[in-house]
Structure 1
Amino acid sequence: MRAPRAAQTTLARPVTLSGRGVHGDRPSRVTLAPAAPRSGIVFSAGGAELRADWRGVDATQLRTRLSRGAASVSTVEHLLAALFGLGVDNALILVEGDEVPAMDGSAQAFVAAIDEAGIVDLPAPRALLQVVRPVQASLGAGWAELAPAASGLSLDVEIAFEGPIGRQRRAISLTPESFRSELSRARSFGFLRDAERLWRDGLALGASLENTVVLDGETVLNPQGLRFADECVRHKMLDVVGDLALAGAPLIGAFRSFRGGHALNMALLDAAMRAGALEWREASTATFAASEAPGQRPSP
């Protein structure tokens, strides 16, 4: 696995995407803009700035929503996954609307936008969060864990559904290359039988065959079928990448989950922070063994 970038990064120039929200079915427009070193990923929505931070998450049913006061921005996970997966540390996201546009239900359009904008290094050392002790969280039949690793972030995700999905498991070492080729094109999925219940809850109002893999019994309703035989577990892994971005910095460790989701991912981050399982490193020192002396967050 290659060594992590030593310098923080941002976008070279602004880039804008437009579409509709998959849950609210309202028009949405986001502009990804460069940001200064150590600013992190910040959403500007409803007159407020919302940092991409696990402590700001207030909803996890079928999406991850950030809020601050009366302002909120929903369905941030696919955009965050693209930024995190490609190694963008700092960006200002200007949101017109209350939800990130669904695009095709994957991170593909966000990856293309980041490529169009370009990624540049900044004059500041990159901060990383290293897992220094194992931590686990569980919700119902699902569980997730983080464990120490010498370098990089590995993901091992398993899902279990009835119908054509069944049990699927995939493991990768996360790099910009593996994110592009293995995860970025995997789309959201759902079951036709759940549609009316979700609509009553104000969810999936904008879901369609253009932004969701729809399953009806044993049948995939999308005319083009699946992009991968295991597209569903790949999408769950994509969601994990977006949710882990809310830790506030790239992680050095090993993630594993069974029957996970946004709520479980947030419970794991909460457990890791409370247990002191994550410690700050600079990129140049983040590959030593997790048993060495604890580090401190690099000073601004």
Structure 2
Amino acid sequence: MYQTTIKKPVELVGIGLHKGSAVKLRLEPLDSNSGIIFYRSDVDVAIPLIPANVVDTKMATVIGRDGYIISTIEHMLSAVYAYGIDNLKIIVDADEVPVMDGSSASFCMLLDEAGRQELDAPKKVMKIKKDIIIQEGDKYVKLSPSPDLKYDFTIKFAHPVIQKQEYVLHFNKQSYREEISRARTFGFLHEVQYLRSKGLALGGSLENAVVLDEKKVLNPEGLRFPDEFVRHKILDAIGDMALIGMNFVGNYEAMAGSHDLNHKLTLELLKNPENYEVIELVGEKTKELEKAYA
């Protein structure tokens, strides 16, 4: 199995979540071993997707370089990861990726339009060799060895619509498209009002997020899944784990995980080479590993 990029450049325009302004997003192919590179066309700054370039994880995963940032990258990356794209240039003309409908469905459609192109270098995946856990109070995120890839996420909210939800995704491109990609980001009305008072979430609306008051969902169309909240948390986690730099094989487990805990997990994983093994997907022995990314 070989590394991939997209067949042709594609682009879209959407609203930025925090500033509420139009943002142009363009995807372009890259050669083997280039990785994922973000580029701010408005200031001519390239920001490679590596953990060292993460500058904020409070409300979204934010990368930066030389004082310039790109925010809310996780939904786009979640789709790129699920499609097994190894090398890609992601161009935006502002400091955030457009939020679209709050899920990764629009990015999946964009990647479908772009197509996938095999390159000349073997695809690499990271095999998790040891248990790695980041825990803060009763919240934790964990990676553990496994012959396949599974995301197991649990959330608890003292809200009548959410309460406790758990979802297990047996990962492949098809299961991601059908079970995860349409799950939208969510927030509470009092949080949105506070953020707007600080000049943030100006682009947030019922068109791009599930919003709840103290008792109910405010979106007139309701939920896309009864457990849309935990499914979106898996969507976020997949995007955050893309910071590893390649697809991985192992189990991801979380209890009330967050962007911040996911970032700390990637740093802990990469800190010690004994935690993982990088495998080139060549030969019969890797056939099983190839299935998730076919």
The TM tier, using the shorter chain, reads over 0.9
Q: 1:251 aligns with which of 233, 248, 252?
A: 248
Amino acid at match of 2:226: A
Partner of 2:291: none
Q: Which runs of 5+ in 2 are unaligned?
A: 288-294
Partner of 2:227: 230
Tell me the distance in 2 between the aligned counterparts of 1:198 and 1:243.
Answer: 23
Tell me the distance in 2 between the aligned counterparts of 1:7 and 1:156.
Answer: 28
Partner of 1:155: 151
Tell me the distance in 1 between the aligned counterparts of 2:286 and 2:249.
Answer: 8
1:193 aligns with 2:185: no
Partner of 1:13: 8
Partner of 2:126: 129
Tell me the distance in 2 between the aligned counterparts of 1:266 and 1:162.
Answer: 26
Tell me the distance in 2 between the aligned counterparts of 1:121 and 1:220.
Answer: 43
Shift of residue 99, structure 1, vs aligned partner: 0.5
Q: 1:281 aligns with which of 279, 282, 285?
A: 279
Partner of 1:298: none
Shift of residue 51, structure 1, vs aligned partner: 1.1
Amino acid at match of 1:223: P
Q: Which moved more, 1:93-102 or 1:46-55?
A: 46-55
Tell me the distance in 1 between the aligned counterparts of 2:8 and 2:67.
Answer: 30
Q: Which runs of 5+ in 1 are unaligned?
A: 1-5, 289-300
Shift of residue 279, structure 1, vs aligned partner: 2.3
Sequence identity percentage = 39
Shift of residue 201, structure 1, vs aligned partner: 4.1
Q: Is the 8 A contact 1:86 1:179 kept in 2?
A: no
Amino acid at match of 2:267: D
Question: What pairs up with 1:13-92 in 2 under 5 angstroms?
Answer: 13-45=8-40, 46-92=43-89
Q: Deviations over 1:65-90 (max 9, x none)?
A: 11011221110000000000111111
TM-score, length basis structure 2: 0.93
- Secondary structure of 1:124's counterpart equals strand
Q: Deviations over 1:165-221 (max 9, x none)?
A: 111000112111011001100000000021232224443221100000000112110
Tell me the distance in 1 between the aligned counterparts of 2:45 and 2:13.
Answer: 20
Tell me the distance in 1 between the aligned counterparts of 2:85 and 2:200.
Answer: 30
- Secondary structure of 1:8's counterpart equals strand
- Secondary structure of 1:220's counterpart equals coil
Amino acid at match of 2:282: S
Q: Which moved more, 1:65-74 or 1:193-202?
A: 193-202
Q: Is the 8 A contact 1:41 1:89 kept in 2?
A: yes
Tell me the distance in 2 between the aligned counterparts of 1:193 and 1:208.
Answer: 13
- Secondary structure of 1:260's counterpart equals coil
CA RMSD of aligned residues (A): 1.6
**CA 1:53 to 1:202, structure 2 compared with 1: closer, same or farther past 3 Å?**
farther
Aligned residues between the structures = 283
Tell me the distance in 1 between the aligned counterparts of 2:286 and 2:120.
Answer: 21
Shift of residue 61, structure 1, vs aligned partner: 1.7
Partner of 2:290: none
Shift of residue 287, structure 1, vs aligned partner: 4.9
Tell me the distance in 2 between the aligned counterparts of 1:24 and 1:65.
Answer: 15
- Secondary structure of 1:50's counterpart equals strand
Partner of 1:119: 116
Tell me the distance in 2 between the aligned counterparts of 1:22 and 1:218.
Answer: 24
Partner of 2:209: 212
- Secondary structure of 1:284's counterpart equals coil
Shift of residue 271, structure 1, vs aligned partner: 1.2
- Secondary structure of 2:282's counterpart equals helix
Tell me the distance in 2 between the aligned counterparts of 1:241 and 1:202.
Answer: 28
**CA 1:176 to 1:142, structure 2 compared with 1: closer, same or farther past 3 Å?**
same
TM-score, length basis structure 1: 0.91
Tell me the distance in 1 between the aligned counterparts of 2:34 and 2:179.
Answer: 29
